[in-house]
């Protein structure tokens, strides 16, 4: 008894074992009839491509390639390939007798072979690029890179164009960096933690323009900060957080120590604690 | 070979590795530039040069080792894999180079900007001329009342302390294009309009946290002068938003907080009203600018925290859901009117752009807008819209044109949620459908799919794991849709029919009432969050934990399936039929309904 396993849906191309009563589903023409006739008449010169057995089953040999759309040699060898079969003993038999699989016989068009791809079940996502598609995508990416760099270049160009006819002394960024680093060599300060980066105390810096605006502005107010060593009491009192008493105390402390070396020496002044110092740090400097 | 023959053109995932490569290249370039810029800072004389040399040397070795590793991996892949992967490898290499180039170029331009130079070296008082690019919201720093994001147009570097007296002096300004966040005291809050240009003076310093690189701290008594009016569309939009907030003022507390959050992405307590145009004052006798009475601050902060703990805070950010709702309505209207597909697509695109303008600006809005426009373009030419491909193109275009977005959490969360939903929602929903009814299975699958990739990113922001987020989302999800829709309708008609907007807002507040109850209930429980290690290691651990859970689930299912099967049929094909209990329940339900309603068909 044969067991008949048919796997449909294109899941795999396992070969089908047909042992007895194989159905010939050749629907192109009435081949069944002609073959049977041919079989019975059997002209002398023709190759016997079929022989009917006594038990009525029809065995088809591998030679009748011109009649039936047989699978190619590769596929026929795959048919006999034992990897895909369920019953290994059937493989040996089929290898011996060269049977065909049912899926090789099913079909309407010539393209309906075992390995057909037109009716496959498609269920995997597309993950790989074809070379043409890859080239198109790369072109699009390069175009967007061009757009992005053009925008950035326009921004940078605006910066440089207007800074050249802008202020007289204020140069572009790199000069600033260079001057600052050279001036920083004078002040070794131990509060150079990164968090204090915005608070630059060692400010003998490049933007000394000497421009003053208000009538009560003195040279001590360049860069918006008050120099502790040259400020008067009124100037000190303009700082928020310093009143007249504290201003007097600062002046006295300055007299006592000669000159301020850094803004942190304000902590020694009575009435200025760390909180007050943080508040006024942005408005004072030491030159 | 078999894979290629079974490829589906309608599931085009080819650009997904490309987008991932671009993001990681852009991030690495940003990190490398940060490291270099830290080394290039002039610190004290003693340590500056040594630090710079050592840091740059370590950075250089890092970069060289990274490049060597990547090249070796690529070579090994090229030798091992078949030729069909060469296309993907080539595109990934190209996009990695492009990502690095754009990130470093953008960072360099921002580094050399006059304002950045000023903030780095001085960090003191200055005057700036700035355009407001984001509306005024409540400040996250205690000393200031409100904050707004601006783009500087010019910075002056050479004047005395500007005060209110001397505002007539207009100093010469250097052109700048830096972005900064302005913190202002209460007296200036109501006069800042989005899109207008202002003359500000304050302390410009580098930021300590947040997305903006610079901070401008404006003190009391400083001069704030408006130089240019906002453009007409910005003024119109601001008027519409202001009317919407007036309409929500009469709701209960939770409505005032949550309805604007659900609709526009800004919570009610964060909004700072600007001065109305005179035409609107006729409707009320109250003075302009402020609410009738402010929202209770304790309650609002508690509510926000409970929302975060229960894992439904994502509802308060604008997502693609808003846009999809609106586009759906427009499309159905066009189909009812029998318009052609191209006309319908153009109308949908216009509605998308209008809605994006109305929302409060954010990175998730950008992502939703661009991805939606791509989908509409596909619909317009009659192709099937593919979410993975549209999202990948969105990420690629946005990160190339604006490389700063690779560091944005909002953009990352939004993209991660979409990719999680698109990849995993359907398989999970099919898996859950065996156990649960279909709507619940779909909602659970969508929630889990969205959380798969957003949890590691949330760990980076706040290292805790919301354990009860799936039940919370399940409880809340039926009400989100109609609450959002009514909120949007209130927003659209608030400027012309305030009574109607009030009605819509009240309906939306019914939906948000349920959200508030769920958040208060679930967020208060002790099991709501699980502390987690923070930083990148926490995020990687989270991914590993998710992978472990998934493997465990698959293994359990396989074991259960194998126990229930006979061995003789082990090799047979076909799918296991499933739990009969669920089937019995369904049949019982159907029979009961037929019993109770004998005339209707019990399906």
CB distance B157–A170 less than 8 Å?
Answer: yes
Q: Is the pLDDT of residue A17 over 60?
A: no
Both B203 and B131 in one domain: the answer is yes
Both B179 and B123 in one domain: the answer is yes
Both B107 and B25 in one domain: the answer is yes
Contacts of A128 in chain B (CB under 8 A): 4, 14, 84-85, 87-88
Q: Number of A:B CB contacts under 8 A?
A: 218
CB-based contacts of B517: which residues, under 8 Å, 6+ apart? none
Both B437 and B539 in one domain: the answer is yes
**CB-nearest partner of A224 from B106, B160, B400:** B160
CB distance A128–B84 less than 8 Å?
Answer: yes
Positive or negative torsion for Cα B366, B368, B371, B376: negative
Could you tell me the fold of the domain covering A216-287?
Answer: DNA polymerase; domain 1 (1.10.150)
Alpha-carbon torsion angle B64, B70, B73, B77, nearest 10: -140
Number of domains present in the structure of chain B: 5
**CA-based max dimension of chain A:** 136
CB distance A137–B8 less than 8 Å?
Answer: no
CB distance B112–A142 less than 8 Å?
Answer: no
Last residue of a domain, one of B61, B93, B112: B112
pTM above 0.80, yes or no: no
The whole-angstrom distance between A223's CA and the closest CA on chain B is 6
CB distance A148–B102 less than 8 Å?
Answer: yes
Minimum Cα–Cα distance from B402: chain A residue: A148
Last residue of a domain, one of B200, B230, B260: B230
Minimum Cα–Cα distance from B39: chain A residue: A194
CB distance B114–A124 less than 8 Å?
Answer: no
pLDDT value for A108? 79
Consecutive H or E run containing A178: helix A173-184
pLDDT value for B52? 54
SS (H, E, C) B523-585: HCCCCCEEECCCHHHHHHHHHHHHHHHHHHHHHHHHHHHHHCCCCCCCCCCCCCCCCHHHHHH
- Establish if B574 touches chain A: CB-CB under 8 angstroms: no
pLDDT value for B380? 94
Last residue of a domain, one of B76, B94, B112: B112
pLDDT value for A84? 47
- Establish if B170 touches chain A: CB-CB under 8 angstroms: no
- Establish if B113 touches chain A: CB-CB under 8 angstroms: yes
Contacts of A151 in chain B (CB under 8 A): 401
Both B260 and B135 in one domain: the answer is no
Closest C-alpha among B453, B483, B443 to residue B547: B453
- Establish if B5 touches chain A: CB-CB under 8 angstroms: yes
Consecutive H or E run containing B310: helix B297-310
Both B553 and B421 in one domain: the answer is yes
10-residue block means of pLDDT along chain B (603 residues)? 80 94 94 87 54 61 75 76 79 91 92 84 81 88 89 76 49 82 88 89 86 88 84 91 91 92 90 56 41 79 91 89 91 95 95 93 93 95 92 96 93 95 93 87 93 92 89 92 92 92 94 94 88 90 94 90 66 68 85 86 51
Residue at B3 is within a domain: no
Both B412 and B381 in one domain: the answer is no
Both B93 and B123 in one domain: the answer is no
Distance between CA atoms of B163 and B156, rounded to whole angstroms? 14
Which range among A23-37, A46-60, A181-195, B366-380 shows the weakest confidence by mean pLDDT?
A181-195
User: Which residues share a beta bridge with A10?
Assistant: none
pLDDT value for A48? 43
For A142-191, what is each residue's pLDDT tens digit?
A: 999 999 999 998 888 776 655 544 443 333 333 444 344 344 444 434 44
- Establish if B568 touches chain A: CB-CB under 8 angstroms: no
Q: Which of B6, B201, B568 to mutate to test the interface with A (most CBs of A within 10 A)?
A: B6
Q: Which of A74, A84, A124, A149 to mutate to test the interface with B (most CBs of B within 10 A)?
A: A124
CATH number at residue B204: 2.40.50.140
Residue at B5 is within a domain: no
Both B93 and B223 in one domain: the answer is no
Q: Is the pLDDT of residue A217 over 60?
A: no
The whole-angstrom distance between B66's CA and the closest CA on chain A is 23
Minimum Cα–Cα distance from B574: chain A residue: A7
CB neighbourhood size of B154 (10 A): 21
Residue at B472 is within a domain: no
Q: Give the domain extent around B100.
A: 12-112
Distance between CA atoms of B458 and B470, rounded to whole angstroms? 15
Domain ranges of chain A: 1-122, 216-287
Burial of B415 per CB tally in 10 Å (0-12, 13-18, 19+): buried
Positive or negative torsion for Cα B147, B152, B153, B155: positive
pLDDT value for A30? 46
Burial of B80 per CB tally in 10 Å (0-12, 13-18, 19+): exposed
Contacts of A156 in chain B (CB under 8 A): 109, 112
**CB-nearest partner of A130 from B87, B95, B105:** B87
CB B272 within 8 A of CB B189: yes
CB distance B573–A161 less than 8 Å?
Answer: no
Both B516 and B557 in one domain: the answer is no
Residue at B7 is within a domain: no
The whole-angstrom distance between A166's CA and the closest CA on chain B is 6
**CB-nearest partner of A158 from B84, B90, B177:** B177
Closest C-alpha among B359, B163, B148 to residue B274: B148
The whole-angstrom distance between B589's CA and the closest CA on chain A is 34
CB distance A129–B98 less than 8 Å?
Answer: no
pLDDT value for A131? 86
């Amino acid at each position: 008894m044969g067991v008949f396993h048919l796997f449909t849906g294109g899941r795999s191309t396992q070969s089908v074992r047909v042992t007895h009563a194989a159905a010939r589903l050749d629907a192109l023409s009435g081949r069944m009839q002609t073959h049977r006739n041919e079989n019975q008449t059997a002209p002398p010169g023709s190759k016997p491509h079929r022989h009917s057995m006594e038990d009525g089953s029809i065995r088809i040999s591998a030679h009748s390639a011109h009649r039936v759309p047989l699978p190619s040699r590769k596929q026929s060898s795959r048919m006999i390939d034992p990897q895909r079969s369920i019953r290994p003993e059937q493989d040996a038999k089929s290898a011996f007798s060269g049977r065909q699989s049912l899926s090789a016989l099913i079909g309407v068009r010539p393209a309906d072979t075992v390995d057909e791809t037109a009716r496959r079940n498609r269920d995997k996502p597309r993950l790989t690029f074809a070379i043409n598609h890859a080239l198109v995508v790369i072109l699009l990416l390069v175009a967007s890179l061009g757009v992005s760099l053009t925008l950035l270049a326009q921004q940078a160009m605006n910066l440089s164009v207007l800074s050249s006819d802008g202020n007289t002394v204020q140069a572009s960024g790199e000069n600033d960096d260079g001057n600052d680093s050279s001036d920083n060599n004078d002040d070794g300060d131990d509060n150079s933690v990164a968090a204090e980066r915005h608070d630059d105390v060692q400010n003998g810096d490049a933007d000394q323009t000497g421009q003053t605006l208000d009538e009560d502005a003195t040279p001590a107010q360049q860069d918006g900060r008050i120099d502790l060593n040259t400020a008067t009491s009124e100037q000190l009192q303009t700082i928020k957080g310093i009143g007249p008493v504290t201003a007097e105390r600062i002046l006295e402390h300055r007299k006592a120590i000669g000159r301020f070396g850094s803004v942190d020496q304000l902590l020694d002044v009575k009435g200025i604690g760390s909180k007050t110092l943080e508040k006024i740090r942005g408005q004072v400097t030491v030159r | 070979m078999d894979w290629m023959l079974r490829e589906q053109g309608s599931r085009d995932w080819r650009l997904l590795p490309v987008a991932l490569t671009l993001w990681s290249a852009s991030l690495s370039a940003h990190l490398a530039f940060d490291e270099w810029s830290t080394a290039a800072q002039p610190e004290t004389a003693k340590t500056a040069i040594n630090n710079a040399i050592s840091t740059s040397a370590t950075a250089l070795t890092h970069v060289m080792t990274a490049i060597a590793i990547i090249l070796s991996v690529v070579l090994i892949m090229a030798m091992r894999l078949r030729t069909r992967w060469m296309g993907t490898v080539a595109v990934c290499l190209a996009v990695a180079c492009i990502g690095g180039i754009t990130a470093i170029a953008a960072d360099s331009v921002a580094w050399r900007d006059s304002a950045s130079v000023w903030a780095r070296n001085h960090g003191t008082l200055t005057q700036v001329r700035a355009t407001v690019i984001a509306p005024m919201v409540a400040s996250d720093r205690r000393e200031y009342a409100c904050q707004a994001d601006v783009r500087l147009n010019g910075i002056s570097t050479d004047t005395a302390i500007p005060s209110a007296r001397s505002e007539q002096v207009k100093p010469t300004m250097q052109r700048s294009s830096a972005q900064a966040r302005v913190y202002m005291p209460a007296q200036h809050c109501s006069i800042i309009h989005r899109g207008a240009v202002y003359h500000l003076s304050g302390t410009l310093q580098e930021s300590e946290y947040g997305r903006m690189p610079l901070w401008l701290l404006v003190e009391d008594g400083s001069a704030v002068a408006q130089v240019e009016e906002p453009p007409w569309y910005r003024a119109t939009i601001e008027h519409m938003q202001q009317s919407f907030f007036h309409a929500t003022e009469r709701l209960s507390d939770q409505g005032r907080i949550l309805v604007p959050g659900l609709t526009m992405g800004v919570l009610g307590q964060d909004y700072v009203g600007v001065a109305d145009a005179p035409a609107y004052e006729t409707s009320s006798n109250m003075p302009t600018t402020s609410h009738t009475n402010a929202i209770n601050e304790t309650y609002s902060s508690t509510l926000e925290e409970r929302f975060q703990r229960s894992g439904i805070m994502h509802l308060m950010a604008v997502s693609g859901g808003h846009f999809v709702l609106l586009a759906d309505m427009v499309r159905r209207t066009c189909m009812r009117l029998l318009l052609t597909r191209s006309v319908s697509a153009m109308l949908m695109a216009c509605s998308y752009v209008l809605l994006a303008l109305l929302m409060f600006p954010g990175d998730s809005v950008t992502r939703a807008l661009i991805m939606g426009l791509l989908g509409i373009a596909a619909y317009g030419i009659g192709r099937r819209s593919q979410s993975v491909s549209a999202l990948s193109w969105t990420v690629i275009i946005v990160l190339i044109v604006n490389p700063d977005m690779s560091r944005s959490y909002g953009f990352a969360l939004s993209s991660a949620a979409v990719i999680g939903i698109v990849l995993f929602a359907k398989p999970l929903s099919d898996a859950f459908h065996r156990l649960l009814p279909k709507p619940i299975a779909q909602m659970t699958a969508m929630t889990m799919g969205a959380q798969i990739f957003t949890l590691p990113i949330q760990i980076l922001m706040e290292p805790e794991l919301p354990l009860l987020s799936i039940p919370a989302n399940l409880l809340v999800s039926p009400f989100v849709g109609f609450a959002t829709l009514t909120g949007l309708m209130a927003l659209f008609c608030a400027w012309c029919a305030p009574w109607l907007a009030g009605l819509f807002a009240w309906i939306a507040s019914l939906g948000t009432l349920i959200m508030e109850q769920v958040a208060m209930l679930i967020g208060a429980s002790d099991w709501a969050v699980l502390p987690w290690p923070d930083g990148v290691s926490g995020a990687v651990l989270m991914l590993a934990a998710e992978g472990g859970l998934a493997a465990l689930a698959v293994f359990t299912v396989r074991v259960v399936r194998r126990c229930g099967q006979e061995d003789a049929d082990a090799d047979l094909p076909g799918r296991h039929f499933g739990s009969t209990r669920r089937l019995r329940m369904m049949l019982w339900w159907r029979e009961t309904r037929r019993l109770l309603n004998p005339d209707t068909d019990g399906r």
